[in-house]
Structure 1
């Protein structure tokens, strides 16, 4: 993380000051022996699975009841940021990501979990995949959240549609090849789009995939000296490419499509390709949840000027410092991120649905290897090649592949994404969107120069 982060540690507080956050003292109450904890989590399939399994397993084993709140990604980010940054104390555990954890650890907002993890031999902390541990660690080297699942990004494609057109997907496609495939596979008369991509505003929605495109096209949000480059030719070229691809061959309602919407679209066979999180594969290969199970091919994230371009992310369980139930919270976190939980998911819900990408041992489980054989190798390869220190063609001032590891980026990325989403909808232009974004990025850069 940038050395100058300390100077702007209050930046996230400034961002949330205008939000209607909880200003009261902790609503959790009680002490570490209490038998009910509150959990806030993002509404992804892996989280919906744990909600189904908790009462009959974790609660039955420990006597601890977990009250879940599940929200869509953008709403989750707003809610957890308000609660943690404003010391609201409403939740004992929450799903947070690789962007938030180092910043919030620096601000003293999270409990470190390395001590508990190391003290429990059965937890086997050394089994956790190293890039995931690093992304959830503070400057002191301690983990401040435990990874629930880890991911990079890759290209998913419908093999039946490709075969019908006599097309072959390379293992490492370029974006030019992807655009060509999308044009050939787009069949609006049959309700099939050439590709599905996120167009929903949000720094973690639209700009997660789009920033990886910017990186591989030679662009960046900021150069090493904090010069903002949002209106640079490379950033413009990448954004125009993305916007035009969606407008010409993307799914209906693209400006309102995030991860969940594209998962449904592709899973219903209504898109020939989808570039997004590697964690989507488990759901796509589940015949109970997907019409394309067994029909999906997986390729590395498309590139232009770089060798790889996949992002690095983990949804992880963290304990806000405001919780008064840290012991019970850790019991839940350790269970949710354990080898035993992965085995439980595999046996109860299907091995393709295991929340993978966090433990090395997962890839040695025979049942998982069989169920995940179509995507496991590309997933691991994508995670291993993701480089948050050097994701593009020039040095960066802060960590992050699909984000810039500074508190201000949540606000900056979201505001610029709103303009780019409007360009996808046809109500503005990419040039205007990025010109406005450049001004906002210049304001952020002034704090660091």
Structure 2
């Protein structure tokens, strides 16, 4: 879906307004620090174990990488999978309690500062600088720096930086006489209302809204609308603008769509929403680009 210019009166729908990324970080008390080299310096990690902490949506990729990493290195990889909004607290508790279960983790990048300050993850700056094979000059600076830097020190390596977009099911739109995807949030509301009123009794709804209490996921849907209405989270002085007319209109637009969403919006998480999408039960879903795999 293409970008549209932000015009307040048109209530513009932005196809991509929220960004997220995951960062690989080394746990603060990992059994072997990157600098130490050790027996695995030549790529042979036979007899060693790597305990990794990942989020639910990365489980499939994690299992695939686990299989290939074990085959290529001889190491044993143990994966622990937790919900997206629990990975930071899980990692911090592991280190603070002294359990020191995890060697590496992939936390949400906004938690890097707190994790670094609390000693839950290691400073990797010197190791990164001394490992030319990482080729960090090839990383996009606007992703690499915000996702790994705390002050002037790096605490991880980014491996996932993607865009929040609006996906739509062409077949459902066509069944309901909708010939084009919406270009504004008003059009989006009209479309989801039409679809739910026509097919809701058959278990097909206008949209899936991730309303479960998760600041990142629900916040991304709000950010899409905030950008579309021409609003900002903060002004030029860094002061919150959450009560601005644009911010209020964005919240109202999200609330207005809830009655036409897959039930129940307040309980819909990644698993429920994505399942409804793949089952052809919703016409629209706001998600990150990896949802496109398997959506054709």
Q: Which residue of 2 is the match for residue 188 of structure 1?
A: 200
TM-score, with structure 2 as normaliser: 0.74
Partners in 2 of 1:236 and 1:140 — Cα distance?
34
The answer to whether the 8 Å contact 2:192/2:206 transfers is: yes
* Residues 1:242 and 1:166: Cα distance change in structure 2 (over 3 Å): closer
Partners in 1 of 2:254 and 2:276 — Cα distance?
18
Q: Which residue of 1 is the match for residue 10 of structure 2?
A: none
Q: Secondary structure at 1:206's aligned position in 2?
A: helix
Superposed CA offset, 1:7-53 (max 9, x none):
xxxxxxxxxxxxxxxxxx96x65776471121111011x43222244
Shift of 1:177: 1.9
Partners in 1 of 2:154 and 2:195 — Cα distance?
45
Partners in 1 of 2:238 and 2:99 — Cα distance?
33
Tell me if 1:260 matches 2:271. yes
Q: Secondary structure at 2:222's aligned position in 1?
A: helix
Mapping for residues 333-352 of structure 1, pairs under 5 Å: none
Mapping for residues 273-288 of structure 1, pairs under 5 Å: 273-282=284-293, 285=294
Tell me if 1:59 matches 2:75. no
Q: Which residue of 1 is the match for residue 106 of structure 2?
A: 95
The answer to whether the 8 Å contact 2:189/2:256 transfers is: no
Partners in 1 of 2:172 and 2:149 — Cα distance?
45
Instruction: Identify the match of residue 74 of structure 1 among 81, 85, 109.
Output: 85
Tell me if 1:174 matches 2:184. yes
Give the root-mean-square deviation of aligned CA atoms: 2.9
Q: Which residue of 1 is the match for residue 55 of structure 2?
A: 42
The answer to whether the 8 Å contact 1:200/1:254 transfers is: yes
Q: Secondary structure at 2:52's aligned position in 1?
A: strand
The answer to whether the 8 Å contact 1:150/1:279 transfers is: no
Shift of 1:239: 1.4
The answer to whether the 8 Å contact 1:154/1:278 transfers is: yes
Shift of 1:268: 0.9
The answer to whether the 8 Å contact 2:56/2:83 transfers is: yes
The answer to whether the 8 Å contact 2:164/2:289 transfers is: yes
Instruction: Identify the match of residue 124 of structure 1 among 127, 135, 160.
Output: 135
Count residues in correspondence: 255
Partners in 1 of 2:93 and 2:236 — Cα distance?
30
Shift of 1:59: 1.9
Instruction: Identify the match of residue 210 of structure 1 among 222, 232, 239.
Output: 222
Partners in 2 of 1:121 and 1:256 — Cα distance?
46
Partners in 1 of 2:92 and 2:227 — Cα distance?
27
Q: Which residue of 2 is the match for residue 250 of structure 1?
A: 261
Partners in 1 of 2:74 and 2:246 — Cα distance?
56
Instruction: Identify the match of residue 151 of structure 1 among 158, 162, 172.
Output: 162
Tell me if 1:241 matches 2:249. no
* Residues 1:210 and 1:84: Cα distance change in structure 2 (over 3 Å): farther
Q: Which residue of 2 is the match for residue 272 of structure 1?
A: 283
The answer to whether the 8 Å contact 2:148/2:155 transfers is: yes
Q: Which runs of 5+ in 1 are unaligned?
A: 1-24, 286-292, 295-449
Shift of 1:229: 4.0
The answer to whether the 8 Å contact 2:53/2:102 transfers is: yes
Shift of 1:57: 2.3
* Residues 1:126 and 1:29: Cα distance change in structure 2 (over 3 Å): closer
Normalized per residue, the structure richer in strand is 2
Shift of 1:231: 4.1
* Residues 1:96 and 1:119: Cα distance change in structure 2 (over 3 Å): same
Q: Which residue of 1 is the match for residue 209 of structure 2?
A: 197
Q: Secondary structure at 2:217's aligned position in 1?
A: coil
Partners in 2 of 1:128 and 1:258 — Cα distance?
31
Partners in 2 of 1:222 and 1:88 — Cα distance?
39
Q: Which runs of 5+ in 2 are unaligned?
A: 1-27, 39-46
Q: Secondary structure at 1:99's aligned position in 2?
A: helix
Shift of 1:238: 1.6
* Residues 1:145 and 1:189: Cα distance change in structure 2 (over 3 Å): same
